[in-house]
Amino acid sequence: MNPESRPDGYTLVVCEKPDAARRVSEALSGGGAEASVADGVTVFRFNADGEDFVVCSAQGHVYAVSDPFEERTVYPIFDVEWYPSDMVEKENANAGRRIAAIRKLSEGARRFVNACDFDFEGETIGFNVLRYACAGREDQALRAKFSTLTKEELVEAFRSAKPNAGQGLARAGRARHLVDFIWGVNLSRFLSQSALGSGHRYRTVSMGRVQGPTLNFVVEKEREIQRFVPTPFWKVTGLFKKDGETVVAAYSKDRLDRRADAARVTSDCSGGEGKVVSVRRSVVQVPPYPPFNIGDLQKEAYSAFGFSPSRTLQIAERLYLGALISYPRTGSQKLPRSLNYRGILQGLAGLSEYSKGVAELLRGELRPVEGIKTDPAHPAIHPTGERPRRPLDASESKVYDIVVRRFLSVFAPPAKREMVTVAIRVGEHEFRLGGGRTVFPGWTTLYGRYRGLKDADVPQMNEGDRLKVVEARNEEQFESRPSRYNQSSLLEKMERERIGTKATRAEVISTLVARGYVAGAGLAPTELGLSVVETMKRFAPSIITVELTREIEERLEGVENGSGEDRDLVRETVRSMTKQLAGLSTNEESVGREIDAALMATVAASYVLGDCPVCKTGKLRLIRSKKTGKRFVGCSNYSSGCRASAPLPQRGAIKAAAKPCQHCSWPVVYVLGGGHPWRLCVNPACPSKGVKRNEV
């Protein structure tokens, strides 16, 4: 970074998070930065190459979009603007103090650098701080762009920092906030107020432009499940004797639709002899999986560890701030040649669990396998090669390990598999069996603990071999009903339909759960979720369609690349919202009745913890004593004589687990609040002795 010098003042660097500010200061100063506190904000000061630097952090969004009305029930709302976050969000109460501190620091600065995360949110945070707190310096400020918080990359990012020409990403980020607020505030206030008009107390019923179609995915899947009628079919298998070993082969037709056809096959084959008519062997290569982008990492962590997408993102961000991995909010599956592959691997070689695999990789040419997805801002997620400065907790260790092993595996050779297919003829009928075994493990040596290749051996056979038919059997089966979405598959659906962003999809899913629209590990819509979707479908159907949301995403991309105007997009959003609200408002009374009834049903259902193992017919519910105010578990058949009951912790939210206790069949609940949730069997006499602290 070589800007024109001026005789006084310093360079003010604005970072997004305190950890990032510390890393930037250490990198640029060589470890000689002095930390101080200015009006409650940690500030780092140092001199580098004769230039004075002051580095601070916004600590997240210090400005938020809102309307000028103090009354939260007013709608429609179209007059929106950016305000200090403490005026809008209770959880951001100290934003005003941070703004004042940055404003005071800006008065002594002669040069400004935006060093916030390089994505929609980071660009928006930096732009707003420079515009509002630093007296309109957003256009003259330099932009430092980096994907890791390593010293080498940070030094290079500041050396090559340039003015952020066009501000396309910032304008798109700000427009996204405005558009989402206009949609969300108006729909949510309408739904909440309509339910209030039905005579019950106020409760927030939210809806947004990405939330709507995402919830509709869940509801449509539930409708598909409800419509599903299982169709019977028959599978035929043959048991053959080969050198004293029993071999099971499947009939060449995967399914037979008539019982009579299945019976005829088994009758024809029983007691007969089979002849091996073909043996096909081949060796196939299985390449490594591509490097992680954030969606792939979220889905893999859900599969491997059961982590929700939002939890995985939070963990990955902590690892990034610790300079252990690259920026996680990326859509890329590519590792550019500009990355120092060998340097990263040499850094990882110092960690004992990876040293052997790294040593093997360093002997060969480093050419990574890549996917097709790209991201103009950041490469695929990869380790930096730096060692942790602090002990990682259990969840951080798991995510770090899977990122490292995925990175290592992309440099490894393909695995090789020998595949065998055998065809056995019994009269006019043919049976087949197949299998495979790994003859060269390749990349699976490094990544196999997460997604290995299973072997299925086939006995040695040759064409012409004769096999005795031990038994031919048929089995009636039924088509499997469609599976509900889980958080991983719903995120994948959002990716396929191109709604939301890599940074917001997990948050949208978490909101659906938090609002009580969906419940369970297999995301089932509650009565409230069903009612909201049906209401939108009847009176404002475009709100829950992917087309509208996808169109807005495409328009935002146009703003980012300079082919679209953010003001035009906001104006069109106002016109569209006006039209949607008109359709809803004319039916406000009907909407209110439906939403209110669904609210009541959802709240009632949330108190059911599971089946009663005592009377076998009742439901165990969360009950609060009118006399003491304490909560406990009781059976819905109490009036009929069932006295099943159990105590509950008096603090923390209670959420029923998907399955009852394997030891006693009483319900298992999670007690939420504070750190990790407690997993608790409610039965005080459970053989497992009740309480265990588990991760969820």
For 659, phi then psi, to 5°, come to: -125, 150
d(CA 324, CA 318): 9
Q: Please give the sequence-ordered ranges of beta strands (E in DSSP) within 187-345, or none if there are none.
A: 232-242, 245-251, 273-286
Q: Is 320 labeled as catalytic in the residue annotation?
A: no
- Chain centroid to CA 613: how far? 36
d(CA 509, CA 507): 5
| 547: CB partners within 8 A, 6+ apart | none
Q: Give kind and range of the element (H or E) at residue 610.
A: strand 608-611
CB 226: neighbour CB atoms within 10 A?
8
d(CA 309, CA 311): 5
Token pair listed for 228: 């599903």
Partner residues linked to 237 by β-bridges: 250, 473
| 71: CB partners within 8 A, 6+ apart | none
- Between β-strands 466-478 and 518-519, what pairing exists: parallel, antiparallel or unpaired? unpaired
- State the burial class of residue 42 (Cβ atoms within 10 Å of its Cβ: 0-12, 13-18, 19+): middle
Which of the residues 63, 327, 400, 517 is marked catalytic?
Answer: 327
| 514: CB partners within 8 A, 6+ apart | none
- Between β-strands 81-84 and 63-66, what pairing exists: parallel, antiparallel or unpaired? antiparallel
Q: What's the order of all strands across the beta sheet hosting 668-672? A: 653-656, 668-672, 678-681, 691-692
Residues acting as catalytic residues: 327
